[in-house]
Amino acid sequence: MSEIDSLMQGMALILTPHHIGLMVIGVLLGILVGVLPGLGAPNGVALLLPLTFTMEPVSAIILLSCMYWGALFGGSITSILFNIPGEPSSVATTFDGYPMARNGQAGEALTAAFTSALLGALVGVLLLTFLSTRIAEFAMAFSSPEFFAVYLLAFCTFIGMSKNPPLKTVVAMMIGFAMAAVGMDTVSGELRLTYEQPWLLSGLSFEVAVIGLFGIGEILCTVEEGLVFRGERARITPMTILRTWAKLPRYWLTWLRSALVGCWMGVTPGGPTAASFMSYSLARRFSKNRDNFGKGELEGVIAPETADHSAGTSALLPMLTLGIPGSATAAVMLGGLMIWGLHPGPTLFVEQHDFVWGLIASMYLGNVVSLIVVLATVPLFASILRIPFSIIAPIIIMICSIGAYSVHNSMFDVGLMLIFGALGYLFKKLGYPIAPLILAAVLGDKAEDAFRQSMLFSDGQLSIFWSNPLVGSLTTAALVMLFWPVLARGLKALFRARQGQARHVS
Amino acid sequence: MSNTTDTPLVATRWVESGLALFTAALGGIVMFGAIEIGIGWGDAGPEAGYFPFYIGLLMTAASVGNLMLALLRSPAMSAAFVSRKAFGQVLAVFIPIVLYVGAMPFAGIYLASAVFIAWFMWRDRQRSKPYGIPVVAAISCGAALASYLIFALWFKVPLDSGVVGDLVAVAGGALR
């Protein structure tokens, strides 16, 4: 099988001391940003991005993706020990993880969380290994209208499926698109939306927005809530690990279900957060120990963790094959690919064979490395959270400022980060989603190019988006997704009316 | 955390409306900028402002929708957006950040960061165990030094040392 061959080539590429060292560094940095309040996976990757400009793309993506895995693991440490989700996607882990830690089972909860996370991630990587080439081959036939339809589908899914109010999602997304439009127009080469201000000429970079919205905004929210860390102690001994591992096989069904939910939500832009919540509620519905959920049930830790990680890894499938990220972090990595001069999308598999398979191989190895590193370093990272807020907060703010500065070596970006920080605070408090803004800021130019090229093909006729069955069904699916809340309500009402009628007749 | 003695500062409705007005204005600015460069259909297909114009239009339309919802939907919107005390805490962090960022072009990133961290720690002295001056100095200077080692030396991303940094460099050069 060609996939196995390619995977072996990838393995050979990454099995060097340099790359394994990068993995360990990436994972450690990832756990650190996952554990610290105010820093998260999207933010951490954005902060590290300027430092990768001089690296080989393969080394850079290994560093960034391992940071992502590390951050996902780090998020579970704080959820279980401190009842503080370090990442939105680990909120569901707190429901049973923290009660377990309070019952003195912190070690078991952590071991179960990390192990199921690894298993979940491996399912995601398997999916990536065996599906990506096929999807890329299929997508090779895409031209501009198809690409625009795929982008449209991604954006509409965000609006229709989001838990946030749809109008707020639209506003957030449009801000992202507007950001992407500032600066030079990629088609005509004209400058636009610069209002004759020299500092707008080079455009607004999405990294600065990520750092401000996620970093500074998060710090402000944390301060307002009055941060109290009441952590539970964790001791992980090899005995605890083995004992927990012996218990895990009986939860195979939960694991399988959660992994499938995770993969589905990761590939469609539902994201890890939605996946972990959905998997938790499914596990509760089907569990024999339903009553114990919320009081410290092992299954309630396994389900969200598996889904979280399988969603996190499978989010890279659409990112690599179609150029559409399934999560905010994947969006930032996609931005990185473009900065390194790679073109995400189906051609990547032909032109950058080594890069793609190096990445996929590193995902197998990186997740195993993560598990080992995280099990060994839990006490260390838990003690970081006990550092007083008045030391950790200014250091995080300093890191964010330096990160924003180093994107373009410009002080203006630091000021911009501040504005985005204030905006992030308001957004979070008023229920505006941030991920669509980032997605639009990264993909804006590509979506616009696809749209304008399609318009050129068709002489301005929108009917080109229904010109063949493929593009037609994609566009229609996008519209269905966009109006899904309305449609679902309509269908439900219709169904209920029918039932009422039937009852009436009988 | 809010408690009973805390008075609410502002109702969610007004913050919500304010943000909606802001984003509506942003949409207006985008539309204006797009019209300036042409939103029509040129020789080479859609002009540069074509796409941004509709982005601005959608942004404004959605913002107006948010504004209407904020003004019409009553009970949830009357709830406090933030209590006076909590907002005081937010400002106590946000204003120093503004000053820190404002001072950066002059003092440079290293000096501004060190002062910022030191001030943050020094302010927290009402806690049961205040930090001693050696601890404050060690952590603030250590953080600045670490950022120099990591960024400027290791990754070769020189950070702006500001007017003060330039002066130091000039003075150092003169001494030599």
Pick the closest to residue A482 from B173, B58, B145, B131 (CA basis).
B58
Of A164-173, A311-320, A378-387, minimum mean pLDDT range: A378-387
User: What does the block give as tokens for A249?
Assistant: 């096989």
Instruction: Pick the most confident of A26-40, A120-134, A237-251.
Output: A120-134
pLDDT digits (tens, 9 = 90+) for A310-330: 988 888 888 888 888 877 888
Say whether B83 sits in a helix, a strand or coil: strand
Report the distance separating Cα A162 and Cα A469, nearest Å: 28
Within 10 A of B155 (CB to CB), how many other CB atoms are there?
17
Say if residues A190 and B37 touch (Cβ distance below 8 Å): yes
- Amino acid code (one letter) for A357: W
**Quick one: average pLDDT of A131-148?**
85
With 0-12 CB in 10 A as exposed, 13-18 as middle and 19+ as buried, what is A284? buried
Domain boundaries along the sequence of chain B = 8-78, 85-175
Which tokens is A434 given? 């941030």
- Contact between chains at B48 and A219 (C-beta distance less than 8 A): no
A40-44, A223-227, A337-341, B133-137 — which is least confidently predicted?
A223-227
Judging contacts by C-beta atoms under 8 Å, the chain A residues touching residue B89 are 223-224, 226
Task: Please indicate if any CB of chain A lies within 8 Å of the CB of B8.
Answer: no
Residue A345 structural domain = 2-505
Torsion of CA A92, A93, A98, A99, to 10 degrees: 70
Percent of chain B at pLDDT > 70 equals 90
User: Measured between alpha carbons, how far is A274 from A163 in angstroms, rounded to an integer?
Assistant: 9
What is the helix (H) or strand (E) element at residue A72, kind and residue range? helix A57-82
What SS3 state is found at A87?
coil
Q: Do B16 and A430 touch (CB under 8 A)?
A: yes
> In whole numbers, what is the pLDDT of chain B averaged over residues?
83
Q: What is the pLDDT of residue B56?
A: 93
A273 CB-near residues (< 8 Å, 6+ apart): A88, A89, A91
| Chain A, nearest residue to B41 by Cα | A460
Using a CB-CB cut-off of 8 Å, the residues of chain B touching A393 are: 93, 120
What secondary structure does DSSP assign to A223-254, as a single string? HHH-----PPP----HHHHHHHHHHGGGGHHH
- The mean pLDDT value of chain A amounts to 85
Of A54, A190, A393, the CB nearest to B93: A393
pLDDT band (50, 70, 90) for residue B116: very high
Say if residues A153 and A478 touch (Cβ distance below 8 Å): yes
Interface of B with A in 81-100 (CB under 8 A): 81-82, 86-87, 89-90, 92-94, 97-98, 100
A residues 212-231 lying closer than 8 A (beta carbon) to B:
216, 219-220, 223-226
In this model, does residue B26 exceed pLDDT 90? yes
Q: With 90 as the cut, is the pLDDT of residue B107 above it?
A: no
Q: How many residues does chain A have?
A: 506
Confidence of residue A217 (pLDDT cuts 50, 70, 90): confident
Tell me how many domains chain A contains: 1
The answer on pLDDT for B4 being more than 50 is no
Instruction: Please report the pLDDT score of residue B10 as a whole number.
Output: 81
Tell me which residue has tokens 């961290």: B117
> Which residues on chain B are in Cβ contact (under 8 Å) with A174?
27, 55-56, 58-59, 62
Closest CA to A429 of A242, A246, A225: A225
Instruction: Assess A211–B contact: CB distance below 8 Å, yes or no.
Output: no
* pLDDT bucket at A494, cuts 50 / 70 / 90: confident
Q: How far apart are alpha carbons A72 and A78 in whole angstroms?
A: 11
User: What would the mean pLDDT of A487-500 be, rounded to a whole number?
Assistant: 83
**Cβ contacts of B135 within 8 Å, gap of 6 or more:** B121
> Got the DSSP string for A149-200?
HHHHHHHHHHHHH-SS-HHHHHHHHHHHHHHHHSEE-TTT--EES-TT-GGG
- What the block records as the tokens of A151 is 């982008």
Does the distance separating the beta carbons of B105 and A170 come in below 8 Å? no
* H or E stretch covering A446: helix A435-458
Nearest CA in chain A to B53: A178
Contact (CB, 8 A) for A324 and A268: no
**Pair A305, A117: CB distance under 8 Å:** yes
The torsion region of residue A433 among left (phi > 0), alpha (psi -120 to 50) and beta comes to beta
DSSP A138-161: HHTT--HHHHHHHHHHHHHHHHHH
pLDDT at residue A360 tops 60: yes
Quick check: A90 and A74 in contact, CB under 8 A? no
For range B26-38, the mean pLDDT:
89
Interface test with B, best of A395, A400, A446, A482 (most B CBs within 10 A): A395
The backbone torsions φ and ψ at residue A184, rounded to the nearest 5 degrees and listed phi first, read -85, 135
- Indicate the residue type of A104: G
pLDDT of residue A232: 67
pLDDT of amino acid B3: 43
| A54 at interface of B, judged by CB pairs closer than 8 A | yes
- Cα–Cα distance list, A428 to A88, A180, A213, A423, A431 (Å): 12, 22, 9, 8, 5
Residue A464 identity (one-letter amino acid): I
pLDDT tens digits, A90-135? 788 888 888 888 888 888 898 999 999 999 999 999 998 888 888 8
Binary contact (B19, A426; C-beta < 8 A):
yes
**Subunit contact A429:B160, Cβ cutoff 8 A:** no
| pLDDT tens digits, one per residue of A415-472 | 999 999 999 999 988 889 888 898 888 888 888 888 888 888 888 788 888 888 888 9
- Per-position b or e across B84-110, b if 16+ CB within 10 A of its CB: ebbbebbeebbebbeebbebbbebbbb
Report ipTM for this prediction.
0.89
- Residue type (1 letter), A260: L
Pick the closest to residue A69 from A11, A3, A107, A125 (CA basis).
A125
- Beta bridge partners, B42, equal B45
C-beta of residue B83 within 8 angstroms of C-beta of residue B91: no
Q: What single-letter DSSP state applies at residue A474?
A: H
Q: Nearest residue of B to residue A390 by CA position? A: B121
Nearest to A95 by CA among A255, A269, A283, A235: A283
Cβ-Cβ contacts under 8 Å between A and B: the total is: 172
Contacts of A223 in chain B (CB under 8 A): 89-90, 92-93
Contact status of A502 with chain B (Cβ, < 8 Å)? no
Identify the DSSP state of A465: G
Environment class of A319 (CB within 10 Å of its CB; exposed 0-12, middle 13-18, buried 19+)? buried
A307 closest CA partner among A331, A278, A328:
A278
What whole-number distance in Å separates Cα of residue A217 and Cα of residue A220? 5
